[in-house]
Amino acid sequence: MGDFLFQSIIVEMNNCQGKKCQKEQYDKQREQVAHYYGTVLSSNRDLKSSACCQAQEPSIHKAICSRLPDEILERFYGCGSPIPPALTNAIVLDLGCGTGRDVYVCSALVGVGGRVIGLDMLDSSLQVARKYQTTLSKQFFPDLESYSNVEFLCGYMEQLEEAGVERESCDLVISNCVINLVPNKEQVFRQVYYTLKVGGELYFSDIYTDRRMSEVAKTDPLLICECLGGALYLQDFKSIVESIGFLDPRMVTCKKVEHSLSNELESKIKNVTYYSCTFRMFRLNDGLLEHNREDYGEEAVYLGTITECPDVFELDMDYRFPKAVSVPVDHNTANILRYSRYGSHFCVSEKMEHRGPFIQKKGNCCYNLVDWHK
Ligand SMILES: C[S@@+](CC[C@H](N)C(=O)[O-])C[C@H]1O[C@@H](n2cnc3c(N)ncnc32)[C@H](O)[C@@H]1O
């Protein structure tokens, strides 16, 4: 079934908010988005809301960005910092990479043993990204002649194989404020699932809402292009990704979007609150993750071996692992820490007898759907 869906050509799709979306409408939205990012915007100063460009990021990323050219930085339209630690030697795919800012940050972090693929549907953005490939590769890897660990592909993230991305080829898929722009988000998450190796991670930032939007808001071209109209309601997002196999997705950060829209657009969105969220989720072998968090008496100790996190590793808003401290974990978390690329950085105790549901210590979610994952 998954195989069939991965190969299928999109003719008519669900728009993931419960309504049929014809190919014509789909193509129209794609054209609007392409026109907006290819022609209307020439830098992030042209944006009409602050949904994009709210990222707070680690100092190591800032240091790498300080070496990037202005042309790349000015056309950065991300809404978060979707670059996790422990990337040495990883194969990374950036969906909707634009002019390549996050691709180049990852390039420096994965090193010579890794590889980064940036994919975008807009050739004009990729031309900017490619323009600096030789210079930046020389800066990051001065000892290697004519070397680059970066590749840019032009294509759609709903059709990754057609774009040249092989199945089960990536350790990590990232994306920064892009998935909201696609009507069929389910198709994107499904493609990502089969592109990840088993044990691989999807780590991405995007805009979400606290409620389902009206048709008027969902179909407004400016709201769509500004990454608001296509934002998913958080609970719908969870249902979609869990139906594909990304069970128990983890919220890493969540920040309310402070937008300053025109009165006309405000009247369309009414009481909707938008959040810029970063999520992580894992593709593990069948049976290793389940919908609920269960208590099998397991504990995990972080060894302090991830370069960027010498003292503490934060998995998500619920789990913080100070170095050398034994932390009680639910069975999903135990398996994530055992079977993902974080495995070598943790010591996880054996599974004991079942003790019932795992009682989670409250995290620090910033909105009133604190228990959205339950
Ligand atoms: C808000 S911008 C973010 C760009 C980049 N991630 C960044 O942080 O600067 C959205 C990007 O997604 C790309 N995009 C939108 N829909 C796409 C699709 N279906 N497939 C591939 N790229 C897409 C656009 O061309 C644009 O570059």
CATH number of the domain that 338 lies in? 3.40.5.100
**Given this model, what pLDDT does residue 372 score?**
54
Closest ligand 1 atom to residue 38 Cα is: 25
- Dist CA 1 CA 210 (whole Å): 32
Probe residue for ligand 1, chosen from 35, 47, 120, 159 as the CB with the greatest number of ligand atoms within 8 Å: 120
Residue 206 CB partners (closer than 8 Å, separation 6+) = 79, 80, 175, 177, 178, 179, 180, 227, 231, 232, 276, 277, 279
**Given this model, what pLDDT does residue 54 score?**
59
DSSP states along 150-198 = EEEEES-TT-HHHHTPPTT-EEEEEEES-GGG-S-HHHHHHHHHHHEEE
Asked if residue 8 is part of any domain, the answer here is no
Q: Which of 262, 282, 302 is the last residue before a domain boundary?
A: 282
68 lines ligand 1 (CB under 6 A): no
- Dist CA 26 CA 229 (whole Å): 14
**Given this model, what pLDDT does residue 49 score?**
73
Asked if residue 235 is part of any domain, the answer here is yes
Probe residue for ligand 1, chosen from 26, 72, 121 as the CB with the greatest number of ligand atoms within 8 Å: 121
122 lines ligand 1 (CB under 6 A): yes
What is the Å distance from ligand 1's center to 289 Cα? Answer: 30
Probe residue for ligand 1, chosen from 76, 154, 181 as the CB with the greatest number of ligand atoms within 8 Å: 181
Asked if residue 373 is part of any domain, the answer here is no
Same domain, 33 and 152: yes
pLDDT 10s digits, 175-200? 999 999 999 999 999 999 999 999 99
Number of domains in the chain: 2
pLDDT 10s digits, 85-142? 999 999 999 999 999 999 999 999 999 999 999 999 999 999 999 999 999 999 999 9
Looking up residue 239, the CATH number of its domain turns out to be: 3.40.50.150
Same domain, 271 and 307: no
Same domain, 202 and 148: yes
Same domain, 313 and 241: no
Asked if residue 4 is part of any domain, the answer here is no
Question: Considering only CA atoms, which of 311, 312, 310, 358 is closest in space to residue 334?
Answer: 358
104 lines ligand 1 (CB under 6 A): no
33 lines ligand 1 (CB under 6 A): yes
Residue numbers in the chain where pLDDT is lower than 70: 1-22, 52-55, 362-374
Asked if residue 338 is part of any domain, the answer here is yes
**Given this model, what pLDDT does residue 258 score?**
84
Asked if residue 57 is part of any domain, the answer here is yes
156 lines ligand 1 (CB under 6 A): yes
Question: Considering only CA atoms, which of 332, 327, 243 is closest in space to residue 287?
Answer: 332
Residue 310 CB partners (closer than 8 Å, separation 6+) = 304, 323
Domain hosting residue 131, numbered range: 19-282
Give this complex's ipTM.
0.99
